[in-house]
Amino acid sequence: MTDRLRVFTKDDVDPDALKDKTIAVIGYGAQGRAQGLNLRDSGLEVIVGARAGGGSEQRARADGFHTLSVEDAAEEADVIAMLAPDMAHGEIYEQVLRPRMKEGDTLLFGHGFSVLYGLVKPAADIDVVMVAPKGIGQLVRREYEKGRGVPALFSIHQDATGNATKTALGYADGIGGTAAAIWETTFRDEAETDMFGEQAVLCGGVTELFLRAYETLVEAGYPRELAYTECFHELKLVVDILHEGGLNKMYSSISETAAFGDLLNGGSIIGPEVKERMKGVLDQIRSGQFAHEWILENQAGKARFEAMKARKRDHDIEDIGQHVRSFMPWLEGGGNNSGD
């Protein structure tokens, strides 16, 4: 077991790290918006690079940002935060940013993928860093507004100026990370663990688990509403408890019947054979096989990706879920009785 990662705090931040520097946010989605607003509210100079007339430009202007074309933003900025989708990074960098970035500028990423797998090959005279908050954009913004923060990772891929760490820590502080914790990592470790978590647990593993459980109950003759609420709806209730206090809080919060069922049968559902398959997924990620497939899928137009996504979106659980949620007005976007 390796030692715990060092925690970087406000004391490690040079308060002048980003003084008199202009930060350009490229990609005004959930993360771009949250980080841009937090940086501005931290007293930093922020502009948004976006396509004229596009949704990003409209949203950024509504939030009071000075917007420019991506080309002009690249010319003006000292730090460029690349927060557009991973697969767009290569084209944006080569066609727009590279010809316009100045020696000593900083190219900042929110995820290690595009640099790790060669979609972006940065010029040698710029700093290349990563700052990756460990939470969705809405959470990053919400916690900042409460005077708190979401932990963040930072990494230095290229330090052309000798100030890359200062810049990364200053940016991480600006989005609120030092109110929680900042950990140093590598582009590789961030990208590989992030993709593994998404595939094995957070997205792939969880969705397949509740879909198979739902199907098992429905095929055994139980009403779809009961199958949905037990195998999908109540998942959030347990995850919230786990998120707040780990396994100890869960076991102190659920019934003894639920705890005994967990301890007796959980390991037979997710057993050693699943761990072996997870190792296979990790091997695909670490070897670059997954990245290669995803890059090729994008180059081919993403037909297979859309077909696989449609199979899940068209699952029966989506129909009954819309119906059940219509009776839960406290859920954001719960909808009406259109699933009836």
Find out whether 234 is annotated in a ligand binding site: yes
Find out whether 29 is annotated in a ligand binding site: yes
Find out whether 194 is annotated in a ligand binding site: yes
Joined tokens for residue 174: 């600006």
From the list 238, 232, 241, 239, the residue with the least C-alpha distance to 324 is 232
Find out whether 31 is annotated in a ligand binding site: yes
Cα angle 166-150-105, degrees, rounded to a multiple of 5: 30
CB 166 within 8 A of CB 17: yes
Pairing of strands 79-82, 66-68: unpaired
Among the options 66, 89, 111, 315, which is catalytic? 111
φ/ψ of 339, rounded to 5, equals -85, 0
CB 326 within 8 A of CB 335: yes
Q: Is 323 a catalytic residue?
A: no
Please list, in sequence order, all residues whose beta carbon lies within 8 angstroms of the beta carbon of residue 180, skipping any fewer than 6 positions away. Answer: 143, 148, 149, 150, 151, 152
From the list 181, 160, 191, the residue with the least C-alpha distance to 11 is 181
Find out whether 51 is annotated in a ligand binding site: yes
Find out whether 168 is annotated in a ligand binding site: no
From the list 195, 189, 203, 200, the residue with the least C-alpha distance to 293 is 195
Find out whether 28 is annotated in a ligand binding site: yes
Find out whether 30 is annotated in a ligand binding site: yes
Find out whether 299 is annotated in a ligand binding site: no
Cα–Cα distance list, 24 to 309, 326, 337 (Å): 33, 41, 44
Find out whether 137 is annotated in a ligand binding site: yes
Please list, in sequence order, all residues whose beta carbon lies within 8 angstroms of the beta carbon of residue 181, skipping any fewer than 6 positions away. Answer: 7, 8, 9, 151, 152
Q: Residues forming the annotated binding site for NADP(+)?
A: 28-31, 51, 56, 137
What amino acid positions are annotated as catalytic residues? 111
Q: Residues forming the annotated binding site for substrate?
A: 255
Q: Residues forming the annotated binding site for Mg(2+)?
A: 194, 198, 230, 234
Q: Residues forming the annotated binding site?
A: 28-31, 51, 56, 137, 194, 198, 230, 234, 255
